Amino acid sequence: MTVTVDAGILGLLLHPDAKIPNDPQTGKPVEQAKERIEQLIDDLDNARERIIIPTPALSEFLVLAGADAPQYLGEISLMSHVRVEAFDQLAAIELAAIEGAAHKTGNKRHPLVASVPWQKVKLDRQIVAVAKLHQSRAIYSDDAHIRSIAEDLGIRVASSWELPLPASKTPLFDDSGPPLEQN
């Protein structure tokens, strides 16, 4: 099985200063966002699922990484369950089908992305096309535009705030654990 991650999820996983998205229910930054992503990656690895990073998403991440980009590329290359997949000829054919379907609706943009710059729509569609081409069962993304495009194609999308909180590694010190007995 295969899943896809976008630049935002990749940033939460690798970059210590990644911008934490806001949980739409609370309006506050996602609680333990990095830990949720780390748990997701561990779970996917344990399930032997392949994780795809489409090259358009990798490019977005590397721009944000700046001078640290080579270090992150090294880290990604060491992850045995992660593969960078190119926006290649087959992905271009898949994108053409996605674009063609959008044009048939009379709106080359998805209705939910009408206010987004056209270049972003095209990049998001490239990411989704790579995911679809590689038969990803899900895309992990906090981007509402990727969600709307992917879900229209029947690809499930999960955001960081939808991922479960990781189990505590120190349950005896958590507030949620059983009360400590007092003598």
Task: CATH number of the domain at 108, please.
Answer: 3.40.50.1010
On whether residue 180 sits in a domain, the answer given is no
On whether residue 181 sits in a domain, the answer given is no
On whether residue 171 sits in a domain, the answer given is no
Contacts of 160 (CB under 8 A, 6+ apart): 8, 9, 12, 21, 30, 33, 36, 37, 140, 142
Of how many residues is the chain composed?
183
- Residue-range definition of the domain harbouring residue 117: 2-165
On whether residue 47 sits in a domain, the answer given is yes
On whether residue 176 sits in a domain, the answer given is no
On whether residue 179 sits in a domain, the answer given is no
pTM: 0.86
On whether residue 174 sits in a domain, the answer given is no
Alpha helix segments (H runs only) across the chain? 7-14, 33-46, 55-65, 69-78, 89-104, 118-133, 144-152
How many folded domains does the chain comprise?
1
On whether residue 173 sits in a domain, the answer given is no
Give the CA-trace dihedral at 20, 23, 26, 29, to 10 degrees: -10
Each residue's pLDDT, cut to its tens digit, for the chain (183 residues) gives 999 999 999 999 998 888 999 999 999 999 999 999 999 999 999 999 999 999 999 999 999 899 999 999 999 999 989 999 999 999 999 999 988 888 777 666 555 556 777 788 889 999 999 999 999 999 999 999 899 899 989 999 999 999 999 887 666 655 555 554 555
